[in-house]
Amino acid sequence: MTAVRTSPVIASPGKSVLFITLGITDKPESYAKVIEFATGFSALLRSMQNRFYGENFNALMGIGSDAWDKLRPGKPKPKELVSFKPIQGPKHTAVATPGDLFFHIRADRQDICFELAAMINELLGEVTYFIDEVNGFRYLDGRAIIGFVDGTENPDESDKNEFALIGDEDPEFRYGSYAFTQKYLHNMQAWRKLPVEEQEKVIGRRRFNDIELSDDEKPATAHNNVSKVYDLDGNEMKIIRANVAFSQASKNEYGTFFIGYSRSFAVTHQMLKQMFSGNAEGHSDRLLDFSTPVTGTLFFIPSPEYLDEFDA
């Protein structure tokens, strides 16, 4: 599958990342302003990319279910765009939190991320309100802040479009993607008390070299066991994870911002159900004993072409 324009969903991760979640004030003029902004978003990105060529700058805009209904009343809606509902497991819960607009901004320099964020605020500040903002960073050699390489299960470059971008199954929204976001806070005191060998059993991989544990070594509750999803033919279904670390060390806050891009949210949702409620064998994710989600929101990422005509 080849998009008309390269989707920002599969862009380079960048060394600095900014995630912004906003609500829209419930006024007719607010929705008109957001529609105007959406139609000009691609042009704004092109200007930024020309200014900061070679800095791996890219960004995308997502829209939540409730906001879509108000921005596009009476018009088609992506088939799987709904308000996320909490997943209550025996021990842990995947919470649901609000969000109308979402921005994923990435570059090799933090000041470039800030530049676009300031423009978004200038253009939308009067018609939106703050929900959440996370400044993320590439940690060491692409590791989560708990010390393990992140994104290991991502599809190969040649397969990313196939797993991340909608195709003929929803032609109105071809080349769009579903983005599910969760902000996790880690109990680093408890995590650090675990011997490295025990940490490896929680994740299912070696910490130093990222080699997967053998079936004999890996517990059934390992993160990379319970988070895998297969189709009816036994083929693994993948999503694109663009997770980043964030921290305020002086506040003892250490976290991972999880974001999963997928062609079908059903795949991501099944992963979450297995992690929190348990897989077919009843095993849930041991990593949740050390990682607590404090947000959970689903957004749809329209293709650049769709956004250009968002006022149609």
| Residues carrying an active site annotation | 150
- Cβ atoms of 8 and 123 closer than 8 Å: no
Contacts of residue 79, Cβ cutoff 8 Å, sequence gap at least 6: 169, 170, 173
Written as six digits, the tokens of 88 are 């209550």
Written as six digits, the tokens of 187 are 């109990």
- Distance separating alpha carbons of residues 88 and 204, to the nearest angstrom: 24
What DSSP state is assigned to residue 251?
A: G
Exposure of 235 in the CB half-sphere (CA atoms within 13 A): 5
- Distance separating alpha carbons of residues 199 and 197, to the nearest angstrom: 5
Selection from 307, 281, 309 nearest residue 222 by Cα = 281
The angle that helices 28-39 and 41-51 make with each other, rounded to 10 degrees, is 50
**What's the burial of 213, exposed, middle or buried (CB within 10 Å: 0-12/13-18/19+)?**
middle
